[in-house]
Amino acid sequence: MAVADLMDQVATTKLDELVSWCRKNSLWPMPFATACCGIELMATGASRHDIARFGSEVFRFSPRQCDLMIVAGRVVMKMLPVLQRIWQQMPEPKWCISMGACASTGGVFDTYCVVQGIDRFIPVDMYVPGCPPRPEQLIQAVVDLQAKIQREGTIFGREFAVASRQQTKRALQEV
């Protein structure tokens, strides 16, 4: 077979890109739904908005089977150790979407027991604003995350070892 014929029948790519392409189209979300945003998360999975169009309809409640954690709703003092434990139980590579104002910054709940943004304590890849965000916004976040995985994903997860990812994003520390 001539080389010219071969080029019509195979596609060449880098292994990293191939792996990232596979990963991005089979995200299995772990719905860490605590509050109001969880209802929009359910609506995203339900009939009208149908997140299955983007390959991430397989909601698994076991962290061992998931690679995308969607934190929907506020996280409070009693819940944060649970969140961290579940995050640690998820296998690599894994990503995290912080859905809604409460998960990202604490939102309206600037009170004694609400954690002011989960990114102080676990790494977050994508923030979705809104209180609660519409299902379309969540789907957009999933699409953006897919683009991010395609752009910088590597087969052995080297992108997670970059120094800027080792720090929490919020430098501000309250006294």
Which residues lie near other proteins (CB under 8 A)?
32-36, 38-40, 42-43, 46-48, 61, 73-74, 76-82, 84, 86-88, 94, 108-116, 120-123, 131-132, 134, 160-161, 165-168, 173-175
* Contact (Cβ atoms closer than 8 angstroms) between residue 23 and residue 146: no
* 130: amino acid identity, one letter: G
**Cβ 16 to other proteins shortest distance, Å:** 18
Instruction: Name the one residue in this structure whose structure tokens are 């995985």.
Output: 149
Helix, strand, coil percentages for the chain (3-state, nearest 5): 45, 10, 45
Tell whether omega for the bond before 93 is within 30 degrees of 0, i.e. cis. yes
Identity of the residue, 82 or 147, whose beta carbon is nearer to other proteins in the bound complex: 82
Q: Which is nearer to other proteins, 12 or 47 (CB)?
A: 47
For other proteins, the closer of residues 33 and 142 by Cβ is 33
Helix (H) / strand (E) containing 45: helix 36-45
Quote the least distance from Cβ 12 to other proteins, whole Å.
31
Q: In the complex, what is the shortest distance from the CB of residue 57 to other proteins, in angstroms, rounded to a whole number?
A: 12
